[in-house]
Amino acid sequence: MSIVISNKDRSWLEVEENSDFPIQNLPFGVFKTKTLSPRVGVAIGTYILDLSVLHEWDYFDHPFGDGDFLTDNLNALMHHGKKACSELRNTVYQLLRSDCTILKDETECVKKALILQSDSEMLMPVKIGDYTDFYSSRDHATNVGIMFRDPANALLPNWLHLPVAYHGRASSIICSGQPVHRPKGQMRPDDDKPPIFGPTKQLDFELEMAFVTFEGKPLGQSIAIGEADDYIFGMCLFNDWSARDIQKWEYVPLGPFLAKNFASSMSPWIVTMDALEQFRVSGPNQQPEPLPYLKYSGDKNIDINLEVIIQPETANENTVSRSNYKHMYWNMSQQLAHHTVNGCNIRCGDMVASGTISGPDATSCGSMLELAWKGTKPIKLNDGTERKFIQDGDTVIMRGHCKKDNTRIGFGEVKTKILPAI
């Protein structure tokens, strides 16, 4: 079905102004209710549209089947590839348009297919096989370099030549709403004394975005930068938790381990790249010029407004950072091209995170490490308390949205409460 998606279009289903989920968005997720088993849905306003019901009523053509919708993850759906998934989203869009009555008039189907988000439980949307975390914000990398190395040489020699990354732990990626216990490990707070063991005293969030992949190429083949977009299904908010004191002691020479693998939190809705296309913007001037396999054309950055909130257990929300994904130095196409240039195979449902997203000023930093500058400048909250790092009982909330010509495409939120160490 070939249709043109317009910012002027509206749905016959009422959608509140400034909703994250207008008809132009239609993100995919997995949900269940007290009476419904896990299944695939699309967000529209305050509702979830149960795609298994629409399939039951024969609204979807080949190649989709029951197993693509009556399931607890999006992997089967994504296995059909970009073209099929785009056509599926276009079909849903057409059925929800105010000038289309095909679905609207089927009142029995509508009653069965529309479920309030407030009556639903969102689940992990993707069965993640592998997870890679990049380090692609120049402002963040510079801030960290200034803190821990020579300020005149804040960036390591390789940073401006390639998108730095490490392989993370997929098993501990969790969905928004699931709490995290404070992790334990070795630390060395005093350089003149042996290390100690215990709960981290420097628990931190990392404001990130992540993308989810379609099936890639076989082992040994590379995804060229010009075709990278064809292998990206969509994006979500991502909080890549970090235990700074554990990381400082353990990361030499192989990088972070226990400081990172205890948990990463993701938002439950995957916003498709089709929905984000209109928000693409030019990226920063990259000097020195990247090697040919990393050179790209067109607008590859995306203008996504991001916000981080700390909510103490008995107090109101405090916005501590406002940043934007457009600040990223290395874009998704470059990350995927670099990831596979050695022949590494990408599989359906792999997750690739951006690394901490910091902007050019002090209020746009994407971590407490930067916001409180290694604990030397505590942040004052509205309940009178201060934060150098995240405390037990704190809930960290991240929200994000794009906005252009009165059209808002949102990601919902990723929300996680910190519980004491076990």
Q: Give the domain CATH number at 70.
A: 2.30.30.230
- Indicate whether 249 and 282 sit together in one domain: yes
Both structure tokens of 197: 């063991």
3 pLDDT tier (thresholds 50, 70, 90): low
- Indicate whether 96 and 219 sit together in one domain: no
Average pLDDT, the chain: 97
- Indicate whether 228 and 371 sit together in one domain: yes
* pLDDT beyond 90 at 5: no
Per-residue pLDDT tens digits for 117-148: 999 999 999 999 999 999 999 999 999 999 99
**Domain end: 123, 139, 173, which one?**
123
**How far is 353 from 392, CA to CA, in rounded Å?**
26
List residues bridging with 13 in a β-sheet: none
- The pLDDT value recorded for residue 4 is 65
- The pLDDT value recorded for residue 161 is 98
Q: Are 177 and 412 in contact (CB under 8 A)?
A: no
pLDDT exceeding 70 applies to what percent of the chain? Answer: 99
Q: Give the domain CATH number at 288.
A: 3.90.850.10
- Indicate whether 209 and 96 sit together in one domain: no
Per-residue pLDDT tens digits for 43-86: 999 999 999 999 999 999 889 999 999 999 999 999 999 999 99
**How far is 85 from 386, CA to CA, in rounded Å?**
46
**Domain end: 58, 88, 123, which one?**
123
- The pLDDT value recorded for residue 1 is 42
Q: Are 268 and 412 in contact (CB under 8 A)?
A: yes
Closest CA to 134 of 105, 94, 163: 163
- Indicate whether 44 and 190 sit together in one domain: no
How many domains would you assign to the chain? 2
Structural domain of 243: 131-419
Please state the rounded mean pLDDT for residues 300-312.
Answer: 98
- In degrees, rounded to 5, the angle at the alpha carbon of residue 29 between the alpha carbons of residues 167 and 126 is 30
* pLDDT beyond 60 at 333: yes
| 3-class state of residue 308 by DSSP | strand
**Considering the domain boundaries, does residue 13 fall inside one?**
no
338 is catalytic: no
List helix spans (H) across 299-405: 332-340, 368-371
Q: CB within 8 A of 361, min separation 6: which ones? A: none
**Domain end: 63, 91, 123, which one?**
123
Per-residue pLDDT tens digits for 355-365: 999 999 999 99
Q: 80, 140, 338, 401: which is the annotated catalytic residue?
A: 140
Cα–Cα separations (whole angstroms), residue 101 to 23, 92, 236, 381:
15, 12, 31, 50
